[in-house]
Amino acid sequence: MSQRHFATIAARAGIAQDPAHEAVTPPMYLTTTYRLKALGQAGAYDYSRSNNPTRDLLAEALAELEGGAKAIVTNTGMSACVLALQLLTPEDTLVIPHDCYGGSYRLFTNLAERKRSFKLEIVNFQQADWAERIQAAKPAMIWLETPSNPLLQITDIRAVCQLAKQLGSKVVVDNTFLTPVLQQPLALGADIVVHSTTKYINGHSDVVAGALICADQAIGEELKWWANCLGITGAAFDAYLTLRGLRTLLPRMQQHQANTARIAEFLQQQPLVSQVYYPGLAQHPGHAIAKAQQQGFGAMLSFDLAVQPALLQVFLDALHCFTLAQSLGGIESLICHPGSMTHASMSPEAQKTAGIGPTLLRLSVGIEGIEDLLADLAQGFAALDAAIQAASTPTGGAGSAKNQVSAKNSNAEATEVPPQQESSQSFRLNPALTALW
Ligand SMILES: Cc1ncc(COP(=O)(O)O)c(C=O)c1O
């Protein structure tokens, strides 16, 4: 592990290293190709799919931040996942958590079922028998995502890695939600870390990219070969922007987290919230492990609204500081409905098994002023209250009384679905899912 502080590694990545002109900020090399001095005398760089100086600066910084031997910068987070899977053969078994990011789940299940790329075992790491399941599966690779998306469940990385070592399995951790500033899986025994750098590492929601960091140099070299072979290395311009975003990673994460802690506290007090999922809360089932293996609880949080799904749009329409959008980790606050957005590629059954309910909302808390964020959410709850009240008055019109409020407010006598408002934040509940709940 590097002796330098995270803030120093991030802020000084590539600074004052320009051999050509002594530029303080590193230049961006958009060139696709490089001149040879003579036949047989290629320099360090020959073609930018294989190697690029701007991409290399980012890779070096990420390897140092994660404490790895080698990093490979890829063109998306998904391609970083694809890259790690190159270590598997059709005879191998991959263990994945039942509640990983929907796109990763889609990749794993389709590669296993449609391409027979490997055998797949889906394990619920929150259940007591997870170790037995892994021992029985004898996997070549175990995939972890902790905190998980979207329910922020925590897996004990060290415990899984200890078992993996006994079985000769590789452990890959998707560290997108926390970044190396808040969690260093390689130091806990993992072999590979993957990131969607689209999220906190870049932090400004203007680059889709990824990275893979290996503890072992030889595995890193093999995967670098595969990245070039498959053509999934990252673009120089993306690497330049990501390097710029990376410089402020630590202060951004600090601000993200401070805001999230206040929001978690606020949501817990809301009568229309039936459950808050945030590992920073003492009652969260993974709180103790999160405290032990993380350097902070992160800035992702989910909650269940105690209303019928038809009222979700009322809440979303009232928000102005939380934008309804996919993705996370940017400086701006986002709200998402995992069931119909990020996790729509999971079957309704898989969503239900993973605990993704129809009124689950996920927040990516940004770095805006906390008072504005709290006021925004308060506005959303006030709009819900008003809609419930309007529906419960006799003059509220025709309609079902009880179908608008559930859980905490199950006594309210709602009488109609409020008229659909003109929405700037379009929202649609996956119709396939409504049938299941
Ligand atoms: C945890 C996690 N891993 C991987 C990905 C895929 O990354 P990308 O969208 O950059 O391809 C995402 C995307 O949301 C994610 O949330």
The per-residue pLDDT for 395 is: 64
Q: Domain spans of the chain?
A: 6-247, 250-434
Which member of 99, 174, 191, 238 is catalytic? Answer: 174
Q: Which of 70, 199, 247, 252 is catalytic?
A: 199
Instruction: Please give the distance, rounded to the nearest whole angstrom, from the Cα atom of residue 77 to the centre of ligand 1.
Output: 5
Indicate the pTM of the whole model. Answer: 0.90
Q: How confident is the model at residue 399 (pLDDT cuts 50, 70, 90)?
A: very low
The protein residue with its alpha carbon nearest to ligand 1, atom 6, reads: 77
pLDDT value of position 331: 98
Q: To which CATH superfamily is domain 250-434 assigned?
A: Aspartate Aminotransferase, domain 1 (3.90.1150.10)
Parallel, antiparallel, or unpaired: how do β-strands 192-196 and 210-214 relate?
antiparallel
CA of 344 from ligand 1 middle (Å) equals: 14
Active site residue 49: yes
Reply yes or no on whether the pLDDT at 419 is more than 60: no
In this predicted structure, what is the pLDDT of residue 405?
53
Residue 56's closest CA among 19, 76, 84, 26? 26
* Fold of the CATH domain 6-247: Aspartate Aminotransferase; domain 2 (3.40.640)
Active site residue 199: yes
Give the tens place of pLDDT for each residue, 270-317. 999 999 999 999 999 999 999 999 999 999 999 999 999 999 999 999
Q: Output the pLDDT for position 404.
A: 55
d(CA 276, CA 300): 11
Lowest-confidence region among 12-16, 391-395, 409-413: 409-413
Closest CA to 262 of 150, 363, 152: 363
